[in-house]
Amino acid sequence: MSQEIRNLEPKPLWNKFADLNAVPRPSKKEERVIEFMKNFGTNLGLETFEDEIRNVIIRKPATPGMENRKPIVLQGHLDMVHQKNNDTNFDFDTQGIDMYVDGDWVRARGTTLGADNGLGVAMIMAILESTDIKHPAIEALFTIDEETGMTGALNLKGGVLQGEILLNMDTEEDDEIDIGCAGGIDVTATRDYNEEETPEGSVGYTITVKGLQGGHSGMDIHKGLGNANKIMNRLLFDGFENFGLQIAEISGGSLRNAIPRESVAKVIIAEMYDEAFVFDMQEVIGDIKTEFKTMEPNLTIEIVKNDTVPAKVMDLGVQEGLLRAIYAAHNGVYRMSADMEDLVETSNNIARVIVKDGQISIQNLTRSSVESSKMDLANSLRSAYELFGCEVEFGGSYPGWTPNVNSEILDVLTSIYEKQNGDKPKVVACHAGLECGILGTNYPNMDMISFGPTIHGAHSPDERASIKSSQKFWKFVLEILENIPVKK
């Protein structure tokens, strides 16, 4: 790992981030980072333990003179989204993140950086390790599997935590203070289909959509970014309608909470349509690239003729249903909030489309800050998929976080921010899944707030963290700790 990362200021933050990023920590495979964090707490001589689901809790007493302040919970999640570019040779299960400095940004070479939520975790670690930072009694809560199911937060039982105020450090714009977030639900459609022998006189093609920005399926959903699954479906639909294209395989997208950047399909057409198909596809590709030229300047769509032809293809009746269903299924913003300006209320991300060996899987993540609207969109999607014979399962549902504009800790943070920066922070609710709403179900009286340093491109290989913002974040947190309200 580059020493230049460890030399950045504030050094306690960046050194802990470097330590953390040396440990592989994919969602649902957090065994190594759990042991790392437990060893960290134990070596500091602090009370350290796991709960039943393997969240790690580390307790540190108040520093002298701060014993009369309300006890606090500092919270972040241990796992990170694993995304890499296709041309990047990297094994997330065995390798630490390869970081480098690019101007004001810290980036990773061809992969996600893990600043979401690694910088928040590193901040908490630096505070636990410090001997000169004033703070009240602290419980550090490191949750697991936030990115793919909120598993740690959902399974944290009531009574484990003793704090009265929770500071979640998982927000990605340093001028924002979050007091609310969206809930979510996974909508997964599956069905089997019959495979047919490829007709004689067919030619095979591979269609590839790549070069899209991708990004966070909540925080970036309003930007109008390209969805590789929707773009691919458009190409396949045109080829089917005009030339009888038949699908052998589709592999599009990756993680449910990442806007899909790439999709690959293997298809056939009758040899008699070969030239006309390629000509038509180039026109369609030109139209799509023109539509996305501002938001997706690096979009690439390739149609490559194969030397071999797939042995089997989808049943045409099921294929038509699939293409029409994905066309009909909503992707993107569904409804804007009527109560908070510029806040996305409800959205859907068609995250993953897999067609192979007689099986179809379409994975969606639906988000909303209004429970009824979340289920309205989920049922709309279910209807589109069931109309062509899919079984649709709802899973992983988690609640949103209702804003509390009268929060005592909100007053503390807004006052400190204005004093340090000369202007007021944006007090917002976000269209992403923060753990506060879930934790609040078992800790309804805990005063919660979320904030963090500026991180762009989360959930994509373009993820980057601002060095200047990390310095602002560090200064902000230290003064917050000194100004936690006194016990009543």
Task: Give the per-residue SS3 of 399-423.
Answer: CCECCCCCCHHHHHHHHHHHHHHCC
Task: Let me know: does 466 contact 453? Beta carbons within 8 Å.
Answer: yes
79 in active site: yes
Annotated active-site residue in 30, 79, 296, 463:
79
Task: Let me know: does 465 contact 112? Beta carbons within 8 Å.
Answer: no
Cα–Cα dist 451/170, whole Å: 6
Distances (CA, A) of 423 to 17, 176, 416, 426: 29, 12, 10, 10
Give the residue among 332, 343, 352 at the shortest CA–CA distance from 148: 352
Distances (CA, A) of 38 to 27, 55, 56, 276, 318: 18, 10, 7, 63, 51
Cis peptide before 10 (omega within 30 of 0): yes
363: helix, strand or coil: strand
Provide the β-strand partners of residue 285: none
Give the residue among 336, 335, 344 at the shortest CA–CA distance from 377: 335
307 in active site: no
Annotated active-site residue in 30, 139, 145, 146:
146
Cα–Cα dist 24/91, whole Å: 9
Q: Phi, psi (5° rounding) for residue 90? A: -155, 135
Angle, alpha carbons 86-173-445 (nearest 5°): 115
How many CB atoms neighbour CB 412 within 10 A? 18
Annotated active-site positions, please?
79, 146
